[in-house]
């Protein structure tokens, strides 16, 4: 078998075609993401044998997950892409029409299943993450509303650090598809988890330090309404409350530089406000175009759209804090090329 998780990564080659009305059963389409009841002929041809659900699992005791799976819910038989679903103290299996929806659900469920196997290690890390209390002071300001409500808590920060550490220790692609792979991943990752968690915590500390400096600089910058407002909006977009888990690990490495660029920009504004305004005028249409597209896609980001997102961030560094350098040359022309590839 090719395995469920190739399908979850985006293959739809064996999924039943969508249509406004299923001619065989005269059923309307199922809501987006949810698996729909399957005619017996489709189920017998395309899915593994039906399993009774819901069942709760605390270990990988359900065999190999097929590419497509049939499950029974009440009197209905559902067919779709399987995913492990996080129940907190266990996982269960559900199926979905859309592989991307299944992949996101499955990742969280698989993380839970790994965490259930290493409870003692996680308890140790919960108590021994370096500088957590110090980081939490800065994190209180992340995601805070204008009325100073809604800032992050120490528990939320700890949860994010451990989630990223679990992903890096156990959830590297390709994901395990059967029990032997799952157990090997536990054996391989368990010994590295403490080191990885410390690495994640150090990066989080560096990001939060630069965040606090940038935020103070925005508040202290007087007579630069347009620049400071733009910087505040940039900071808000970069640093939602779940910034650690919402951002790919490779991109998180650049956050201290992005945040330092905000501070340097505002430090230099007084020397040449006209230059800052001119650069912002070049940048703003690119950002507006990006966020408009994100809204149209309802937040669904593919790899090419994310590339545009981070090119815009690198362009900000190049425009406002060139001394910090960018990993590769970046310009409006290069960004336009990325847009063309995205559209085509």
Q: Which sequence spans correspond to the domains of the chain?
A: 4-112
103: pLDDT strictly greater than 50: yes
Instruction: Count other C-beta atoms under 10 Å from residue 102's C-beta.
Output: 25
Whether the Cβ atoms of residue 129 and residue 158 lie closer than 8 Å to each other:
yes
| H or E, element range at 49 | strand 48-52
Whether the Cβ atoms of residue 92 and residue 54 lie closer than 8 Å to each other:
yes
Least confident stretch, 120-129, 219-228, 311-320: 219-228
Q: What is the pLDDT of residue 33?
A: 56
Return d(Cα 322, Cα 336) in angstroms, integer.
20
- CA proximity to 67, closest of 18, 25, 103: 103
Q: What is the pLDDT of residue 139?
A: 97
Whether the Cβ atoms of residue 79 and residue 16 lie closer than 8 Å to each other:
yes
Partners of 82 in the β-ladder: 95
Joined tokens for residue 340: 């063309």
Confidence of residue 165 (pLDDT cuts 50, 70, 90): very high
247: pLDDT strictly greater than 80: yes
Write out pLDDT tens, residues 266-293: 999 999 999 999 999 999 999 999 999 9
DSSP state of 148: S
Whether the Cβ atoms of residue 72 and residue 50 lie closer than 8 Å to each other:
yes
DSSP state of 322: G
32: pLDDT strictly greater than 70: no
The pTM of the full predicted model, rounded to 2 decimals, is 0.83
For the ranges 65-79, 242-256, 291-305, the one whose mean pLDDT is highest: 242-256
| H or E, element range at 37 | strand 36-37
Length of the chain as a residue count: 344
């Amino acid at each position: 078998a090719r395995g469920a998780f190739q399908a979850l990564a985006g293959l739809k080659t064996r999924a039943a075609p969508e249509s406004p009305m299923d001619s065989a059963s005269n059923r309307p389409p199922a809501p987006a993401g949810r698996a729909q009841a399957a005619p017996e002929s489709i189920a017998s041809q395309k899915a593994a044998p039906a399993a009774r659900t819901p069942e709760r699992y605390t270990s990988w005791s359900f065999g190999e997950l097929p590419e497509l799976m049939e499950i029974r819910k009440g009197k209905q038989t559902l067919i779709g892409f399987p995913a492990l679903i996080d129940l907190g103290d266990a996982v269960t299996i559900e199926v979905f029409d859309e592989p991307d929806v299944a992949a996101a659900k499955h990742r969280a469920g698989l993380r839970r299943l790994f965490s259930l196997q290493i409870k003692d290690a996680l308890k140790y890390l919960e108590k021994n993450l370096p500088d957590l209390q110090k980081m939490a002071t800065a994190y209180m300001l992340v995601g805070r509303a204008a009325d100073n409500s809604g800032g992050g808590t120490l528990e939320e920060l700890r949860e994010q650090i451990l989630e990223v550490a679990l992903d890096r220790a156990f959830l590297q692609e390709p994901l395990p598809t059967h029990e032997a792979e799952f157990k090997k991943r536990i054996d391989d990752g368990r010994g590295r988890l403490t080191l990885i968690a410390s690495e994640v915590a150090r990066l989080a500390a560096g990001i939060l330090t630069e965040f606090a400096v940038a935020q103070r600089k925005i508040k202290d910058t007087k007579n630069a309404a347009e620049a400071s407002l733009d910087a505040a909006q940039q900071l808000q977009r970069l640093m939602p409350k779940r910034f650690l888990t919402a951002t790919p690990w490779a991109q998180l490495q650049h956050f201290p530089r992005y945040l330092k660029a905000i501070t340097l920009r505002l430090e230099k504004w007084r020397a040449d406000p006209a230059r800052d305004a001119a650069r912002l005028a070049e940048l703003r249409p690119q950002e507006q175009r990006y966020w408009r597209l994100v809204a149209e896609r309802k937040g669904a980001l593919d790899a090419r759209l994310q590339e545009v997102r981070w090119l815009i961030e690198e362009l900000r560094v190049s425009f406002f804090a060139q001394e910090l350098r960018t990993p590769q040359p970046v310009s409006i022309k290069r960004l336009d090329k990325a847009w063309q590839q995205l559209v085509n």
